[in-house]
């Protein structure tokens, strides 16, 4: 998908001094650039990732960019590593609980990290599909555990709390009939390259379904939190490179010759995420942006009919809670 000519810059984002953000998977790609956007506007940003070494290297690079960029007369924000292991819901629950004790507020949560879109995929020790665990279940755990702090922050004067799930256009490839039971979470579509993409798309559909159900619940409580799902577009991330490399015969050709035409830089790919997390327009027209799906660059778009299905939203929520309860992650 080609990007529109619209461009998001720091001037399109609200001032984030005094605000706290948490971004998963931020040591590379879209997450890295999203963190840089938020830090440019003064936020204290946590880079939630597994590897301290990779995170520290990325943080040093971002800090160097912040120093070079100068600014608008205000100090830049700061970036901090926060250990988050997205392979196990138990460790995510523990980490999120630690975050609750660490910070008194959280204004922005960007669930950005993602399992690669190419397989083969496998079941973990809990009998759950690894890609669904990373892309949906563990971000579900993180979000729901942080929800009390997000709500408290939203109750503060002049608050602007947002939850962003980075989804994908790949969600439109799948047509699930239900999300009831563990087998629905473990749905796999086969062993070809495009079957892998469909399995990936199913997890990205889950990202939108969860956000829409969450928005409905929050609105019922008048919580004042905006939830947005984002398709970042075709971005030359590590995952995209891996997918192209997995395509037999043509993968190298696609990556080398067509990649520069169809794929954009990390910063361009992060523009829609940054807009969702801190866009001035979202702050000015809050109702308009509640529960929406954004595509490049910062356009409100229609997700698939399945993503809008309230039955599937409810089923996914209840099934995820049931699975986590069986694991002892939730009571």
Q: Model confidence over 91-134: pLDDT tens digits?
A: 999 999 999 999 999 999 999 999 987 789 999 999 999 999 99
d(CA 41, CA 104) in angstroms, rounded, equals 20
d(CA 101, CA 91) in angstroms, rounded, equals 16
Predicted confidence (pLDDT) at residue 330 exceeds the cutoff of 90: yes
Q: Model confidence over 223-256: pLDDT tens digits?
A: 999 999 999 987 555 554 555 455 565 554 554 5
Q: Model confidence over 127-156: pLDDT tens digits?
A: 999 999 999 999 999 999 999 999 999 999
Predicted confidence (pLDDT) at residue 72 exceeds the cutoff of 60: no
pLDDT at 2 (0 to 100)? 45
Beta bridge partners of 79: 45
- Mean pLDDT over all residues of the chain? 91
Phi, psi at 161, each rounded to 5°: -90, 135
Q: Model confidence over 9-41: pLDDT tens digits?
A: 999 999 999 999 999 999 999 999 999 999 999
Give the CA distances from residue 225 to residues 7, 151, 156, 283, in Å, rounded to whole numbers and listed in that order.
25, 7, 12, 11
pLDDT at 116 (0 to 100)? 81
From 196, 200, 289, 293, the catalytic residue: 200
> Does the reported pTM lie above 0.85?
yes
> Domains of the chain by range and CATH?
10-327 (3.40.50.720)
Q: Model confidence over 192-220: pLDDT tens digits?
A: 989 999 999 999 999 999 999 999 999 99
Cβ of 241: how many Cβ atoms within 10 Å?
16
Q: Model confidence over 267-310: pLDDT tens digits?
A: 999 999 999 999 999 999 999 999 999 999 999 999 999 999 99
Predicted confidence (pLDDT) at residue 261 exceeds the cutoff of 80: no
The encoded tokens of residue 300 equal 């409100």
From 204, 212, 289, 293, the catalytic residue: 204
The encoded tokens of residue 11 equal 């001037």
Predicted confidence (pLDDT) at residue 191 exceeds the cutoff of 50: yes
From 114, 117, 167, 184, the catalytic residue: 167
Give the CA distances from residue 234 to residues 2, 75, 103, 131, 258, in Å, rounded to whole numbers and listed in that order.
8, 33, 34, 20, 12
pLDDT at 162 (0 to 100)? 99
d(CA 238, CA 117) in angstroms, rounded, equals 10
pLDDT at 242 (0 to 100)? 53
Give the CA distances from residue 193 to residues 7, 121, 256, in Å, rounded to whole numbers and listed in that order.
32, 12, 19
Beta bridge partners of 24: 48
pLDDT at 75 (0 to 100)? 85
C-beta separation of 277 from 164 below 8 A: yes
Catalytic-residue membership of 167:
yes
């Amino acid at each position: 998908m080609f990007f529109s000519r619209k461009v998001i810059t720091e001037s399109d984002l609200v001032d984030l001094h005094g605000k706290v953000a948490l971004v998963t998977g931020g040591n590379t790609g879209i997450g890295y650039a999203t963190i840089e956007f938020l830090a440019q506007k003064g936020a204290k940003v946590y880079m939630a990732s597994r590897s301290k070494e990779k995170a520290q290297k990325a943080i040093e690079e971002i800090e160097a960019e912040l120093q070079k960029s100068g600014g608008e007369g205000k100090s830049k924000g700061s970036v901090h590593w926060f250990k988050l292991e997205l392979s196990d819901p138990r460790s995510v629950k523990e980490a999120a609980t630690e975050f609750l004790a660490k910070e008194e507020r959280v204004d922005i949560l960007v669930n950005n990290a993602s399992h690669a879109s190419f397989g083969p995929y496998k079941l973990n020790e809990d009998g759950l599909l690894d890609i669904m665990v990373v892309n949906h279940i563990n971000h579900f755990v993180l979000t729901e555990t942080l929800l009390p702090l997000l709500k408290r922050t939203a109750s503060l004067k002049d608050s602007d709390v947002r939850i962003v799930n980075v989804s994908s256009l790949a969600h439109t490839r799948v047509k699930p009939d239900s999300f009831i039971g563990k087998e629905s979470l473990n749905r796999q579509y086969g062993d070809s390259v495009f079957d892998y993409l469909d399995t990936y798309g199913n997890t990205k559909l889950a990202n939108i379904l969860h956000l829409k159900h969450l928005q409905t619940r929050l609105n019922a409580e008048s919580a004042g939190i905006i939830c947005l799902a984002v398709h970042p577009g075709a971005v030359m991330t590590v995952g995209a490179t891996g997918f192209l490399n997995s395509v037999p015969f043509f993968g190298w050709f696609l990556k080398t010759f067509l990649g520069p035409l169809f794929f954009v830089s990390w910063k361009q790919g992060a523009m829609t995420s940054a807009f969702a997390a801190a866009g001035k327009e979202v702050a000015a027209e809050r109702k308009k942006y509640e529960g929406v799906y954004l595509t490049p660059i910062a356009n409100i778009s229609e997700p698939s009919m399945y993503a809008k299905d309230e039955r599937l939203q409810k089923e996914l929520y209840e099934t995820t809670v049931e699975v986590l309860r069986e694991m002892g992650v939730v009571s």
